[in-house]
Structure 1
């Protein structure tokens, strides 16, 4: 059967002497693998369609399993993301995270739209740490692990004070009377909690220019890392590289 879809390349790997296999996150939210014959050859007309982060229209034959590319057209190459080491690192993490979370036959355009918005925001020089933390929140929510931050996850109390704690293990905030349920739960600054609540409500497509203090950025990064580790438990190569960039102050 012949398919025509819009998709973003979230993974690209060599296959054989001259071919590549790409994984697309498609406009309906599904994930599909496509074989691109001859993509590694110097004069290949399809080579550009296999580059990571490329948004394009792909026409391929598929009966079951892997498809075979027939033709395609680039809509947005996102070449600047591949040319900048920091942007490439964040973009790779966004793609690998989605690749690991999204099931092959899962549908729903939300996944595609959030990835598209994430890559466009990175290309437009918005704060990459804020972008990726908001993207992580959307991934958690879409996967069914969105944190509860407006009321105590244990008793439902909405009146929270400075003694409230965030529990990545339990998936939300604990009031002063329930914080004993998770002693390692994290302290959180009021400004950080306010921004995290905004992340829960905000669609990445509507993200404007956000100015965040270094202290708040650092705290949000730590809290979101804890949520991702506790709730999803993924070990991603791209995240390890981001940590190396941070360690050597290359961001």
Structure 2
């Protein structure tokens, strides 16, 4: 049976690439037009390969390709491409960006058009590339991706009564926020600070296009990280390798940022 395919232009964000056979790469793009697609790039490891710069990690651009409905597609020629230079040159930015892209890869099936998510991923990478707090950009993406994993917590009002005018806490048992009047309903609620709850609610609906400056206290950033780790571990069950590396890297951060001082 012949697979349906067609030659057309597409816009893509390179999610990852991996070795395939001796001279080839498999390159996965999040495309604006067709969702996630895997491309076989033949001869990509050969010296002098013309498209080398167009399939580097953290590349975004437009291409002409032979798009298969299922299975492998093929890139015919790049049109206009560029790299997120800041991400490519910084191990911390790199780790957060890689984690965001791996979450998106797991969250959606291949070949499902995702024009809205294409734009959100592009904007998230742009913010990280520009030097905005990558941990907070990542939190926003994690929160907004939860419904794609089948977890859609109630984050605007109380999960029991719908009130919006009282202090909140997060309840995994009730699938979202509980107002102060119903805190007793869940003795295992997470005891979040009101500042953390505020950002959780804001991040669930924020438009990344309207984000230009991100300032969050380190204590709140830490609390948000713990909250997202708890939700993803207990309710979503997704553990990309890139997250394990990110966790390791975060443990290095204090040592890298505050190297020991030699008093000799």
Equivalent residue number for residue 87 of structure 1: 93
Alignment of 1:57-206 (within 5 A): 57-63=62-68, 64-143=70-149, 145-161=151-167, 164-168=168-172, 170-206=174-210
Q: Which runs of 5+ in 1 are unaligned?
A: none
Superposition TM-score, scaled by structure 1 size: 0.91
1: CA distance, partners of 2:116 / 2:67: 24
- Do 1:54 and 1:74's aligned partners in 2 also have CA atoms closer than 8 Å? no
Distance across 2 between alignment mates of 1:32 and 1:169: 37
- Paired residue total: 249
* Cα distance in 1 between the residues matched to 2:54 and 2:173: 40
Which among 55, 68, 81 is matched to residue 60 of structure 2? Answer: 55
1:30-69, Cα deviation, whole Å (9 max, x unpaired): 1111111111122111122222221011222234411121
**Structure 1 206/230 Cα, relative in aligned 2: closer, same or farther at 3 Å?**
farther
Whether the 8 Å contact between 1:113 and 1:205 is mirrored in structure 2 is no
Q: Deviations over 1:42-100 (max 9, x none)?
A: 21111222222210112222344111211113433113312211111011101111111
How far is the alpha carbon of 1:13 from its aligned partner? 0.6
Correspondent of 2:252 among 236, 248, 251: 248
Q: CA deviation at 1:242?
A: 0.8
**d(CA) in 2 for partners of 1:113, 1:29:** 13
Aligned to 1:33: 38
Q: Distance in 1 between matches of 2:175 and 2:82?
A: 36
**Aligned partners of 1:141 and 1:208: how far apart in 2?**
25
The 5 Å alignment of 1:9-20 reads 9-20=14-25
Distance, in Å, in 1 between the alignment partners of 2:34 and 2:108 is: 8
Q: Contact 1:149–1:172 at 8 Å: present in 2 too?
A: yes
Q: What is the CA–CA distance in structure 2 between the aligned matches of 1:185 and 1:215, rounded to whole Å? A: 19
Compute the displacement of 1:177 (Å). 4.4
Secondary structure of 2:163 counterpart? coil
Work out which of the two has the higher radius of gyration on C-alpha atoms and give 1 or 2: 2
